[in-house]
Amino acid sequence: MSPNREELGKWRALADTGGVLGITSLPDAIDAFLGTPAPKGNPATLRTMAGEYRKIATDADRTQADTDKLATQWLPEVWRGEAACNATDVVTAVAHELDHTVDVYNKAGGELDKLAASVEDAQRKHAGSRDPLHRAKNELGDDFDWARYERARTIALPGMDAVLAGIDTAKSAEETAARQFTDYSTQARANQLGSGHLSDSERLVLSQAAVPGGPHADNLILSHNEAARANSRLDELPAGERARFEALLDNAKSPEEKAYLMKALAAGHPIDKVEQFGGQINGRDPVWLRDHLTPVYTPDGDRKPGEETEVTYGCSTTQWEQDGPTCVASSTVTARAMTDPLYSMYLTTGGHPDDPAQTCPDAFNRRLEAEQRRVYDDNRPWYADNPEWAGGYDGMKRDEGLEAANEEIGPPTGIEYEHRELEDAGDRRDVLDEVERAVDEGKPVPVQVTGDDGGHQMMIVGHEGDMLQIYNPWGELVWVTEDQFVNGGMDAAADGLPNTDGVHIPK
């Protein structure tokens, strides 16, 4: 059996050691590296696969253009009435699905091209190691000679480094490709709506319903997790309650309205409350639904690291921001509102969507601050409000924030969080895949950052490529890179707080 990367690293370190131990271990070290096979993979096959993916994308793109015309131009010209509206919704959803297919298959082709280039590079590095390693082995000779062994070591070390570099290049490329293809698979929300109580067209329309004002694929109303939970709830409802819910869907006036009803079901609310909610949102336009039920969405615009977008209530200037030292409570409240439309409706309207006194920005702000204070007070011990000399303190500690996340975000999402302390870049790199997978599924991830200015909690709410989308309870939405998350650059999201210190991650 050939040695693994860790064993080869030890042989490399031993061969580089001065003195008798390093010199006498050199023959075995060289043999270990010569016995290591080249990284696996066929670059030509990968490039052929990439071309096939792009061909599928090209074909889907042509179909998407025709389908979009069918939904927006041809159908409305020749067909009117409710049936026509339903047909248009389905065809529009097909167009969005095809558009998504084009995007995913083009990206997949690009990823396979990158993987092919990396495998080729890794194999080239490995091939380049053979000559110096064989020359070093020949230099050793049959009898021990110190000077020859020293010359052999000088020749062998670059060859050993080339083998290790090839292994590392291949491993990094494989991990990156696997992560990207996992990202693409979690975007298939229609597959999560497999209930036998939904038609194929209903599943498609629901999975493609999105809030307006930003890229369609980034603003789908139902997350992967919510689609799966709604599917399970629908199948588990008693027949009478399921009939009542299906009547709500039938009476809904838009795909967006239907998706919010499914989101309410996913959040675990009893059918009576879902019916009341359905009556309150019935016939509302998509912008109204977004402003009152989706506190955080991705707007149009470039995604530059550190570029901030204010998170406001509707078109007002009132932000979803913390009051006082309540960053933990505030980020938790907003995350709950993102996953529970009834809770968001309460915060934005007080349960009275047609009363201007209840829906005005001032009323929203009072309710938001009251909820922040409730979560803050409920999760701190009685003595926390004492003076500092008597054990009091501002803010919330890690275990208190974890409890708040499980109590507030847990019920509507089915999540149970656990805390991960991140002491160094290695810890952050190790947890990154779990963080990205969670947010891709629609599960917000609380993240704690520290610096000379103290500590702060934000919420990771999105992921695209090598970027993470952060909700900062200072009332802002900001993108950071994976490198900034790992290597002390989180001050791009929160000034003076560069270090990622911990996360609460779904179990």
Residue-by-residue DSSP string for 350-388: TT-TT-HHHHSHHHHHHHHHHHHHHHHHHTS-GGGGS-G
Asked if residue 166 and residue 280 are part of one domain, the reply reads: no
Give per-residue pLDDT as tens, 114-140. 889 999 999 999 999 999 999 999 998
Asked if residue 444 and residue 317 are part of one domain, the reply reads: yes
Asked if residue 383 and residue 427 are part of one domain, the reply reads: yes
> For residue 69, what pLDDT band results from cuts at 50, 70 and 90?
very low
**Neighbouring residues of 442: CB distance < 8 A, sequence distance ≥ 6:** 223, 224, 225, 226, 339, 413
Instruction: Give ∠ CA 402-406-408 in degrees, rounded to 5.
Output: 115
> For residue 84, what pLDDT band results from cuts at 50, 70 and 90?
very low
The answer to whether position 25 is within a domain reads no
> For residue 64, what pLDDT band results from cuts at 50, 70 and 90?
very low
Q: List the structure tokens of 230.
A: 């709604």
Q: Which of 393, 417, 397, 374 is nearest to 328 (CA)?
A: 397
Check pLDDT > 50 for residue 107: yes
> For residue 97, what pLDDT band results from cuts at 50, 70 and 90?
low
- Show which of 134, 166, 190 is a domain's final residue: 190
In terms of average pLDDT, the best of 49-53, 103-107, 169-173 is 169-173
* Across 68-82, 174-188, 257-271, 493-507, least confident range: 68-82
In terms of average pLDDT, the best of 10-19, 62-71, 174-183 is 10-19
The answer to whether position 1 is within a domain reads no
Give per-residue pLDDT as tens, 135-168. 999 998 878 888 888 999 999 999 999 999 999 9
Asked if 486 contacts 501 with a C-beta cutoff of 8 angstroms, the reply is: no
Check pLDDT > 70 for residue 60: no
Of 50 and 497, the structure prediction assigns the larger pLDDT to: 497
- Residue 439 sits in a domain whose CATH number is 3.90.70
The answer to whether position 23 is within a domain reads no
- Bridge partners of 58, per DSSP, are none
Q: DSSP state, 252?
A: -
Q: Which range of residues forms the domain containing residue 233?
A: 200-293
Check pLDDT > 60 for residue 190: no
Q: DSSP state, 220?
A: B
Give per-residue pLDDT as tens, 294-318. 999 999 887 889 989 999 998 889 9
Phi and psi angles of residue 179, each rounded to the nearest 5 degrees, phi first:
-65, -45
- Residue 137 sits in a domain whose CATH number is 1.20.1260
Asked if residue 423 and residue 339 are part of one domain, the reply reads: yes
Of 70 and 119, the structure prediction assigns the larger pLDDT to: 119
- Show which of 131, 165, 190 is a domain's final residue: 190
Q: Which of 211, 337, 209 is nearest to 262 (CA)?
A: 209
> In terms of DSSP H, where are the helices of 269-340?
271-281, 286-293, 327-339
Asked if residue 224 and residue 83 are part of one domain, the reply reads: no
Asked if residue 243 and residue 131 are part of one domain, the reply reads: no
Asked if residue 447 and residue 373 are part of one domain, the reply reads: yes
Of 114 and 417, the structure prediction assigns the larger pLDDT to: 417
Give per-residue pLDDT as tens, 191-212. 555 555 566 667 667 777 899 9
The answer to whether position 26 is within a domain reads no
> For residue 78, what pLDDT band results from cuts at 50, 70 and 90?
very low
| CB count in 10 Å sphere of residue 269 | 21
Estimate to the nearest angstrom the gap between the alpha carbon of 382 and the chain centroid.
36
The answer to whether position 298 is within a domain reads no
Of 105 and 288, the structure prediction assigns the larger pLDDT to: 288
**Per-residue pLDDT, 287:** 96
Asked if residue 220 and residue 352 are part of one domain, the reply reads: no
Asked if residue 250 and residue 142 are part of one domain, the reply reads: no
Q: List the structure tokens of 267.
A: 């959040």
* Across 75-84, 261-270, 405-414, 448-457, least confident range: 75-84
**Per-residue pLDDT, 62:** 60
The answer to whether position 265 is within a domain reads yes
Asked if residue 332 and residue 216 are part of one domain, the reply reads: no
> For residue 88, what pLDDT band results from cuts at 50, 70 and 90?
very low
Q: List the structure tokens of 153.
A: 């070591």
Asked if residue 211 and residue 183 are part of one domain, the reply reads: no
Question: Domain tally for the chain?
Answer: 3
Asked if residue 286 and residue 389 are part of one domain, the reply reads: no
- Report the predicted TM-score, pTM, of the whole model to 2 decimal places: 0.72
The answer to whether position 10 is within a domain reads no
- Show which of 190, 218, 235 is a domain's final residue: 190
Q: Which of 317, 219, 279, 306 is nearest to 484 (CA)?
A: 306
Give per-residue pLDDT as tens, 354-410. 999 999 999 999 999 999 999 999 999 999 999 999 999 999 999 999 999 999 999
The answer to whether position 332 is within a domain reads yes
